[in-house]
Each structure stands twice: as C-alpha cells, then as structure tokens.
Amino acid sequence: MIDSLGMVAAARALPEQLLAAADAASGAALPSADGISSVVFMGMGGSGIAGDVVAAVASPACPVPIVVNKHYECPAFVGPDTLVIAISFSGNTEETLAAARHAVGAGARLVAISAGGHLERLAHEWGATALGLDSSIPMPRAGIGAVTATPLVVLEQLGLFDGARAQVESAAAQLRRRRSELDSDLTPVTSVARRIGRTLPIIYGGGALGEAVAWRWKGQFNENPKVAAFANRIPELTHNEVCGWAQHGDVTRQVFTLVKLRHDYEHPQVARRFELVAELCDEVVGDVVEVRAKGDGPLAQIFDLIHVGDLVTLQMASNESVDPGPVPVLDEIKLRLASTDS
C-alpha cells in the first residue's frame, strides 16, 4: 500500500488520540462560564466535522443552543455572551480566521484550538484561550479525535455538557474493541470497499448523529481514495431527494452505491424511513450496503462508524494504488488564492 504520510497508522491510533487530547484539555484556563447564552463552532473540513459531532452529541443536554458555522462570516447574534470555539488544525484556515476575527470584534469569548499557525498567534494577541493539538498528526482529517475531544472537555469544564469525559473514555474503549476485532478479521472493511468498488457512494445517516458521520464518510471518500461521494440525512431526504431516484435507473444502477450508516439512537420513525428508502432505491442503485454502529453511548457509536469509514476509504485507496495522504487539489486551491491575494 502507498501511504507516504502514515494515514493507516493514524487511523489505528484514534483511541489513544482521543484520550490524549482530553487529558491535554483538562484543567485549561478558560473564559468565564457566567451568562453564556450560545455556543458557536467555527471550522472547515476535518476540523469543521468536529463541530458537527460535538453539536450532535451535546445539543440534547446542553442548556444553550450550539451552532456550527462554516463560513467566512460570523452570525450576527454573536456577542459578549457567546462562547466561540474556533478550530483549525493548521491554524491557517482563512474562513475560520475571518469568522473568528469578527467574533472577537463582537466581544465573544473565544477558545482557539489548533496545532499552531495564525490562529494560535492571534488568540494570544487577543487574550483568548489557545489550546494546542498534536502537530505530529499527519493531516487535519486524521486528527478527528483530537479536534473532537478537546471542545467536548471545554464544554464540560464550563458546565455546559456533563459527562463529556466519560463519553470520550467510552468511545476510546469501543475503538480499541473494534481495532482488535478488525486485527483478527478485516472482512467488515474489505467487504464494504469491494461492494462499492468503482461506483460513487451515496451515504445516508439518520438524525443529527448519523448526519455528522455521513458527512465524515463523504469527506474521507473525497480525500483518501479521491473519489466523488454524496451525503444526506434521514428524515430530510425523504421529503425531496428520494424523488430523484424515480428516473434513469438504468444509469444510476451502474454509477451509485447506497451506504446506510445506522446507530442505536435513531428516532423510531427514522428507522422506518431507512427501511422504506432501501426498498425504493434497491432497483436503482448498484448495491445497498449497511454499516451498523457498536459502542456504549452516542459518542462511542459515532466514532465507531467514523473509524470503519476511515478504514474503508483507506482500503479503497489501496485497491486503486492511490496515496491517501496528500491532497494536491486542495493545495492548488490554497496556492491560487494566496497568489490572488498577494
């Protein structure tokens, strides 16, 4: 397998990464928790997914709304009573930097999470909290454990999400169990990779938890084996997207594979809608693949699915002799934007 950056090793080390990040964030000096009325996550790509995961897990118990912002702009409601958690693994993500500047200008309480770069430097200049990430992690998307555990611990320490550390520990325990299982038998990974083959995956997740994981899988298909992929969530897609399966089945059968990501925290009607969607799509996609989460607790099940998805996409990269680490197209976009700005 071609793996110049060590992406497989990073995926295998995910449980240890989760725990190390939680330990590092514990006891950090944080902004005052008094009067916080909202939480806003800012981040893009692999760092932005962390906001989706935290919002999905913490929102049902958090006493204030959690919003995930993936834009240059900052929401107008952000102000002195807003906790802003800006995440950029590199510290140089321009959208996150721009939105964080707006937030600080509006008086928000900022927690910056990065492995260095401009975000860390600016956080120090602004007198904000700067929490570090392990810079030895080979790529931002390989740091999903660190960029998720860190803000979870922050929320717990501010009294906004009780039990975060316990959920992180449960997730790490499940990842270790899954790693052990796959060390003995990799078939659950190789089978999914084989069934998708050279078709384009369409990933469906249920509810907020499933949606977050579906977007993670999509991004990993894009960046590891470098293939197009699409994601959506149930129930929303049963109010629009399923209509699109009514035409051109002779074409879609040759192009798409439907991947259903299932977990134990689905609303009963979401589970029923999954069944109906599978029935409706059975004859218009090449295959329907289901991956079911294991683990004790929402975060454990999210990370179990994340880990399987990471390994499936790495296996697909190996099958096609693609180096999963480098992302030259993304690098080219950054270079062209930089040359335009200069």
Enzyme catalytic residues? 223, 239, 334
Which residues 6+ apart lie within 8 Å of 334 measured at CB? none
Torsion of CA 105, 110, 116, 121, to 10 degrees: 40
Orientation of helix 298-319 relative to helix 187-196, angle to 10°: 60
Provide DSSP, 225-283.
S----EEEEETGGGGTGGGGGGS-HHHHHHHEEEEEEE-TT--HHHHHHHHHHHHHHTT
Q: Using CA atoms, how far apart are residues 108 and 123, in angstroms rounded to an integer? A: 12
Q: Using CA atoms, how far apart are residues 74 and 100, in angstroms rounded to an integer? A: 7
Residue 127 DSSP code: T
Q: CB–CB of 291/257 below 8 Å? A: no
